[in-house]
Amino acid sequence: MLESPPLGVAIVGGGPAGLMAAEVLSNAGVQVDVFDAMPSFGRKFLLAGIGGLNLTHSEDYAKFCTRYADRLPHLQTTLDLLPPERLCEWVHELGIETFVGTSGRVFPKEMKAAPLLRAWLHRLRGMGVRMHVRHRWQGWNGKGQLQFSTPNGLVEYLPKATVLALGGASWPKLGSDGAWVPWLRNSGVEVAELESANCGFEVNWSDYLREKFAGAPLKSVALKFTDLQGQVIERQGEMVIGQHGVEGSLVYAFSREIRQRLNAQGDATFALDLLPGRSLDRVRAELAGWARSSQSISSYFKNKLGIAGVKLALLHEVLGKDEFKNLEKLVSTIKALPITVHAVRPIDEAISTAGGVRFESMNSNYMLTNKPGTFVAGEMLDWEAPTGGYLLTACFATGMAAGQGVLRWLNDSTTD
């Protein structure tokens, strides 16, 4: 057994939520120790930066907040602590410039996560935050001490307070493996089952489609879906035909609603508009001359409608040969091609997870009611949001809120 480090506040998890909690506490003069299972901090954060590190979104703040759906009542006050504009100011204070992309998403000017993370870690170390890598949390022992396995053996640590920021379960190779779930449940904490979010879905494609078009992007399409409450949602964008089904940003935007219907009914069907820029009447008019044309299906559809490749293959996937001769059936399918999904792709393929520590298990300071002095932040909590900067913003914000919660709890404990 190794000697425990001096008492302080322990942050378990060195991602955005944990590091933000560490900054809040250190700014207030509290000694902070950050522990992470990996050889370095922010592994998942760095991976997110490969695609440009979408920090937040510049849309109207009221609309921004709606992206958290039914969890907004729990998150609104927290998001108000660090709204997108303030988050950008914080990034600028680290010496990192940002810009707004054409979609409204906000990125670092260098389109990388590493410079931001380096600057942040440098500032935290300068503030006296102590960093401990290769410390894998193993729950609590019988005395209520935190237990960490390290290359040198087991370390037990009894801090003044603890912030758990261990992430969900969608990136096990980067440390977010959900191993914390049974330890919290055994302590009486309510944890909603972790599920895939911002994920792909399985479709029973034909062998032909799978072999010829797996990995093919579907551009300029619109997806329409009716959720369990009967609300019709529609959005235009891009998606990908995968080996096992569908994936990509447009699908991810609907993943919550599709997953909920799958859980309730066993399958879910959405409609895909292959030509969202053209009305039903226009498509009908453009197809009316096909019967009199000597061109093949592929030539006519490509030249007249711009439908070729994977889009044409999808039409063949759902329509029989005779149905191609039925003008109304053909037109309606082009404008609303049905795709039925029957399963969610595995959680270790997902961008993020839904489920986690229920808000009902915490007080307004993010402290667990069954574990006084233990706070939770980030993706461990039972919320989800689409990609587009919403995930990172809430992780930063809940980390800030948890850090402030620790300060209030320490102050109250000292007063008592």
Q: How far lies 110's CA from each of 15, 98, 113, 311, in Å? A: 20, 8, 8, 35
User: Would you call 34 helix, strand, or coil by DSSP?
Assistant: strand
Is the pLDDT at 119 greater than 80? The verdict is yes
Q: Which pLDDT tens digit goes with each residue over 80-93?
A: 999 999 999 999 99
Average pLDDT over residues 125-145: 95
pLDDT cut 90: percent of the chain above it:
83
Considering only 2-6, 139-143, 239-243, 394-398, which range has the smallest mean pLDDT?
2-6
- Do you know the residue count of the chain? 416
Is the pLDDT at 233 greater than 60? The verdict is yes
Q: Which pLDDT tens digit goes with each residue over 21-63?
A: 999 999 999 999 999 999 999 998 888 777 789 999 999 999 9
Is the pLDDT at 275 greater than 60? The verdict is yes
**Alpha helices (H) along 28-151:** 43-48, 61-66, 72-81, 84-93, 114-126
299 pLDDT band, cuts 50/70/90, is confident
Is the pLDDT at 5 greater than 70? The verdict is no
Average pLDDT over residues 155-168: 95
Q: Which pLDDT tens digit goes with each residue over 338-370?
A: 999 999 999 999 999 999 999 999 999 999 999
**Residue 129: its pLDDT value, please?**
97
| pTM metric for this prediction | 0.91
Is the pLDDT at 203 greater than 90? The verdict is yes
Distance CA 347, CA 199 (A): 8
Distance CA 143, CA 264 (A): 42
Average pLDDT over residues 244-266: 95
**Residue 324: its pLDDT value, please?**
86
Average pLDDT over residues 380-394: 95
Distance CA 401, CA 365 (A): 7
**Residue 304: its pLDDT value, please?**
85
CA 12 to chain centre: 20
Contact predicate 41/133, CB 8 Å: yes
Contact predicate 184/192, CB 8 Å: no
Q: Checking DSSP bridges between strand 343-344 and strand 201-202, what pairing results, if any?
A: antiparallel
